[in-house]
Amino acid sequence: MSRKAANILSAQVILKPDCVLGLATGSTPIGLYNQLAAWYRKGDLDFSKVTTVNLDEYKGLTQEDPQSYYYFMDENLFQKVNIDKNRTFLPDGTEPDSEKACRQYNDILASVGQVDIQLLGLGHNGHIGFNEPDTFFKTETHCVKLTEQTIKANRRFFASEEDVPREAYTMGIKTIMSARQILIVVSGEDKAEIVKKAFFGPITPQVPASVLQLHNHVILVADEAALSQI
Ligand code: GLP
């Protein structure tokens, strides 16, 4: 799964060296980032002109916090390849004023131009980025209160459940849908049911990822377990 997804992202970087990649965190894309870094080390990929914009960031965490998504991206990709860090963007988790943080990120997104490929993972409740069920499809960057399910799912990365931030800044569904292409990676049997709902069920804000059925260029890359119900 990771290699196939990495092939698609690397083809984009080769075809358009100054592309804009929309990136995601979570455990699912780690193998993909490792593969991209390995191809970079081999001399097959050049990230020097690439711009990246990430989906989301926890509100209240600094870039140095090992649980922040900035830290994750730095550890898993940015410091392993020749990307210009001035061209890597995430929402500013340290900005306490949510409106300001979201406005600033929307401005950044507007200035970098259309995302060529947006990478996505899939939450157990169908969330994409941190767009939890019942998010309006028309939203841009906004501040979200994480659901209990998401807090529990992300608890494994923190010392205790109390340490998991309760809020996050995330690109909205409208922002995600405006990407030229979307690449969604999913693995594991625990995601099989939500894959079926998202891609073969009704399009509804209750399953945020179901909106992807309305996008004209979506690639789903998944392992057999995640596809076992379709
Ligand atoms: C988090 C992230 C999402 C990610 C999802 C699934 O909540 N905000 O962007 O896709 O979890 O994560 P995992 O890949 O670890 O299952």
Q: Which residues contact 95 (CB under 8 A, 6 or more apart)?
A: 101, 104
Measured by CA distance, the residue closest to atom 1 of ligand 1 is 26
- Burial zone of 217 (CB within 10 Å; 0-12 exposed, 13-18 middle, 19+ buried): exposed
Query: Does any ligand 1 atom lie closer than 6 A to the CB of residue 130?
Result: yes
Closest atom of ligand 1 relative to the 121 alpha carbon: 10
71-115: per-residue pLDDT in tens? Answer: 999 999 999 999 999 999 999 999 999 999 999 999 999 999 999
Give residue 148's identity as a one-letter amino acid code.
Answer: E
pLDDT given for residue 112 in this prediction:
98
Measured by CA distance, the residue closest to atom 5 of ligand 1 is 123
Residue in 128, 130, 223 to alter for ligand 1 test, most ligand atoms within 8 A of Cβ: 130
185: three-class secondary structure by DSSP: strand
Query: Does any ligand 1 atom lie closer than 6 A to the CB of residue 208?
Result: no
Spatial CA neighbour of 115 closest among 9, 4, 7: 9
27 alpha carbon to ligand 1 midpoint, in Å?
Answer: 7
Grade residue 157 by pLDDT with cuts at 50, 70 and 90: confident
188-218: per-residue pLDDT in tens? Answer: 999 999 999 999 999 999 999 999 999 999 9
Closest atom of ligand 1 relative to the 24 alpha carbon: 9
SS3 letters across 22-48: EECCCCCCHHHHHHHHHHHHHCCCCCC
Residue in 1, 2, 23, 25 to alter for ligand 1 test, most ligand atoms within 8 A of Cβ: 25
Entry pTM = 0.96
Adjacency order of strands within the sheet including 51-54: 88-89, 51-54, 20-23, 117-120, 181-186, 218-222
Burial 184-199 (b: 16+ CB within 10 A, else e): bbbbbeebbebbebbb
Closest atom of ligand 1 relative to the 191 alpha carbon: 16
Above pLDDT 70, what percent of the chain?
100
Nearest-Å Rg of the Cα atoms of the chain is 16
Active-site residue set: 56, 125, 127, 132
Beta pairing partners, 53: 22, 89
